Amino acid sequence: MSPSYKAMSSSKLFQPLKVGDSPLKHRVALAPLTRFRANEKHVPLPIVKEMYAQRASTAGTLLITEATFIDARAGGYPRAPGIWSDEQIAAWNEVTSARAPSGSDAGRMRIHPLG
């Protein structure tokens, strides 16, 4: 075993951690990345489900979804996802179900810009 492998395997980065009720197998997380992959109604596109499923392929990973508008009046970014309509909620439920089989956990970054 190489010295660098020993250092990595003993690093806290690769040790389990519990965040709230969610046990994580390591401390590597996907930070929120707004990708503007929604339609004109701010409904996440099917590629969003695929993208999060790929990133959830390692069990015990924490994924924080991209900034998600909580109201139609919340922001002026075209193609940014929202979570105020039934259609948007259904699309996000699809995204959540895509990562669930791996045992990864997801949190959503909700935003309502002021001004």
Percent of the chain scoring above 90 in pLDDT: 26
Q: What is the pLDDT of residue 40?
A: 95
CA distance 67 to 34: 6
The pLDDT, as a whole number, for residue 8 is: 66
Yes or no: say if 108 and 70 are a contact pair by the CB < 8 Å rule. Answer: no
CB half-sphere exposure, 97, CA atoms < 13 A: 7
Q: What is the mean pLDDT of the chain?
A: 82
Decide the pairing of beta strands 105-111 and 62-69.
parallel
Residues pairing with 24 in the sheet: 17
Please give the model's pTM, rounded to 2 decimal places: 0.75
